[in-house]
Amino acid sequence: MEALDRIKEQVETHPVIIYMKGTPKLPQCGFSMRAAQALQSTGQEFAYVNILEDPEIMQALPQFADWPTFPQIYINGELIGGCDITVEMAGNGELTQMVEQAVSANQ
């Protein structure tokens, strides 16, 4: 399966997924750390892909949704953005609402 197909499958399979450098418990960059913390603050489970362990995904991901940077957060198959947008949404309560709706709709 090609990298773009794998990304499409992952995004469609998981209600909330973050493509990041490292893992939520061991992030490998500050942006990934802050975005993962914002998602964790919702209290809901989410999937993640460590792009450092999958060079094909790392290379293909910027083409998938025309977003050049990492991390990338998808909710219900839609790119919501990267670190700054996610942290801002967490601060105003929008992230928790979106994540809760996505998770509950997929249970």
Annotated binding site for [2Fe-2S] cluster, which residues? 29
Pairing of strands 16-20, 47-50: parallel
11/72 Cα distance (integer angstroms): 11
CB 20 within 8 A of CB 51: yes
CB 58 within 8 A of CB 71: no
